[in-house]
Structure 1
Amino acid sequence: MTESLNFFDKTPIRWGVIGCGSVAEKKSVPAYRMTAGFEVSMVMRRDAEKAKDYALRHRVPHWTTDAKEVIENPKIDAIYIATPPDTHRFYGLQVAAAGKPCCIEKPMAPTYQDSLSIHEAFKSKNLPLFIAYYRRSLPRFLRIRQWLDEGLIGEARCIHWQKTKQSNEMDLSGSYNWRTDKKVAPGGYFDDLASHGLDLFAYLLGDIKEAHGVASNQLGLYSAYDAVTGAWKHKNGVVGSGSWNFGAGERKDKVEIMGSEGKISFSVLDEAPILLENASGKQSLEISHPVHIQQFHVENIKRHLLDNTTHPSTGDSGLNTSWAMDKILGNL
């Protein structure tokens, strides 16, 4: 199979889902089900009772506990991998070997090297690979990109993001959470949350070409890092910095893009207004997310597979984000 402007010549495109946990409940799989021309035909989860329950509640006709039954099923056209990051490479390589398009949940993999393996496997077969960095498709952030493209803050100069949150009950109790297990997410919540922002910044300002940082486990509550500080440079010369602390006394999510003639302020993860400030004054916009937050991301997958469009979040862009994350964590 080779990728073309129209990868499929007929619909519906039948999707199989590997992993149907929390992200698949509201954020993603319902968006696949509601997209015209898509069907969710089969789901997989290792726990049979939970897999069956999910399939019944979401009206998916088939379920299994064996991923190969989904990946190698001739009646499944494309695969969505919604498992924790440590299995993305394992399942991703199987999907590439089966010759099927794939969307992988973010982050692409726990390390840049694993992400590179996935990327090369799909690239070698000219297969579409999408990464679920859905913020690239959300109207809120498309408006910010429009403001930048229109030069409403002049030339962008620098970007800074401060993201903090308190430790939660799960952190304090010692209960298992893949987001704090260094074998799954070496950067801890940084891998899960900061990846969204770094990928979004690359979309708004161009690929990240230089990056470095420091990471620490300050609280000792779990094995992964809980405090990270980083700096980076985009290909257009814009410089960036960020501080992420997951044991702070307050919750904060603030980004500022400073330009030669103004600034844009917004949140990456919180549903807060976006603010434009320049010589014309201040403009604040509230743009709500869709009920199923991956709706526009999934619709863009459909356009990529069926029409003459390119999805904003592919294996190429996801690989750049993985590289930047590993550089900030000091793994490269």
Structure 2
Amino acid sequence: MKLDLDKIKWGIIGCGDVTEKKNGPPLYKLENSSLVAVMRRNGKLAEDYAKRHQVSRWYDSADQLINDAEVNAVYVATPPNMHAEYAIKAMRAGKPVYIEKPMAKTYAECKRMIQVSEETGVPIFVAYYRRALPLFMKVKELLDNDIVGKALTVNIRFFASSKEQNLSTEQLPWRIKPEIAGAGLFYDMGSHELDFLDFIFGPIAKVSGQAQNRAGYYPAEDTVTASFEFENGVLGTGSWSFVVDPSSEEDTIEILGTKGKLWFSCFNPIKLNLQTEQGELFYDFDQPEHVGGNHIQLVIDELRGVGKCPSTGKSAARTSWVMEEIVKDYYNKK
């Protein structure tokens, strides 16, 4: 299907927190793009969002939004357990979809979405917006230009303290409910890191991992380790824990090459560190007001036939496959 839309007229399914600043305002602030309808199951909250963001229509039904004749692209910003259903309905209605990450609750759902995209010719994009943020694009540029030589290894270290230790089961956020999120916070946070590595190194060919629940605050895994190998031969490791003491918190991705190394934060991407035989160099970056805006611009450009977005359904599905492989033993034992 050749789209080449003149102006993208968005509808949002699930206008929650992620749409308030990160990814919602760019839909109506960017050129050749407008937000014409929003949906939330709680109609009062949908109406409130529409008023605050000056959106002309709101719905409490996803089907109504998808069938809105003016909407020609759909942003699915619900929890992952509804991504596949809504994305497939939108694609069958001929409307491109931009989906929150992770792409779906399971890799099997990702594959179904890709199949429908191929059958209908309607594209899928996934909100891995680091592929368009300045620091991460600089990392790719430095690697592509051989500044640290041939890449050898990459290591992820992400450790955060828990906010859930005193919550009842009813109070737990959906991000740590596997029946909704697919797994725990590893899927929510680790997906960004693993997707970015896919962006700079290409697909992961081999992966193994271990996951455990060490603190017992909730049913999902809270501590994860992994080892992986990219198709290009780069080796990687990762360690994640979401229940450490605050004094142990860390957010680092380190890339080692034959001529130097790079290290930076995934979730506070304002400083990039480069070390070579010439010494250390530091790059500073400002965060945009809306961190998803650069990436959404690329989606708009592709839908208008004037550019390409680097985060597709196929690339996002690879990240879902990697994560599922890492935690599968933990969930298979349940």
| CA shift digits 1:203-251 (9 cap, x unpaired) | 0111111111011111111121111111111111001110000001132
| CA shift digits 1:268-294 (9 cap, x unpaired) | 112341101111211111112211000
Paired letter, 1:322: S
| CA shift digits 1:288-314 (9 cap, x unpaired) | 221100010010011111134221100
* 1:325 equivalent among 317, 323, 326: 323
SS in 2 for 1:183: helix
How far apart are residue 92 of structure 1 and its match? 1.2
How far apart are residue 128 of structure 1 and its match? 1.3
- Return 282-291 or 155-164, whichever deviates more: 282-291
Aligned to 1:113: 108
- Return 308-317 or 106-115, whichever deviates more: 308-317
What is the aligned residue count?
326
Aligned to 1:25: 20
Consecutive unaligned residues in structure 1, runs of 5 or more: none
* 2:166 equivalent among 135, 151, 172: 172
Paired letter, 2:66: I
**CA–CA distance in 2 between the matches of 1:141 and 1:288?**
12
How far apart are residue 9 of structure 1 and its match? 4.2
* 1:84 equivalent among 68, 79, 82: 79
| CA shift digits 1:77-130 (9 cap, x unpaired) | 010000000110111111121111010000001111111111111122121110
- Superposition RMSD in Å: 1.3
Consecutive unaligned residues in structure 2, runs of 5 or more: none
SS in 1 for 2:111: helix
**Normalising to structure 1: TM-score of the pair?**
0.96
Aligned to 2:128: 133
Structure 1 residue 215 and structure 2 residue 211: aligned? yes
Aligned to 2:269: 271
Aligned to 2:179: 183
SS in 2 for 1:172: coil
**CA–CA distance in 2 between the matches of 1:172 and 1:35?**
42
**CA–CA distance in 2 between the matches of 1:323 and 1:48?**
35
Residue pairs, 1:227-238, within 5 angstroms: 227-238=223-234
Residue pairs, 1:306-325, within 5 angstroms: 306-325=304-323
Aligned to 1:281: 279
**CA–CA distance in 2 between the matches of 1:315 and 1:258?**
29
Contact 1:119 1:316 in 2 (8 A): yes
Contact 1:212 1:330 in 2 (8 A): no
* 2:251 equivalent among 250, 253, 256: 253
- Return 15-24 or 264-273, whichever deviates more: 264-273
Contact 2:81 2:182 in 1 (8 A): no
**CA–CA distance in 2 between the matches of 1:72 and 1:80?**
14
Contact 2:222 2:242 in 1 (8 A): yes
Aligned to 1:224: 220
* 1:104 equivalent among 87, 99, 104: 99
SS in 1 for 2:180: coil
Paired letter, 2:291: I
Identity between Structure 1 and Structure 2 (%): 35
* 1:300 equivalent among 298, 301, 312: 298
How far apart are residue 171 of structure 1 and its match? 4.2
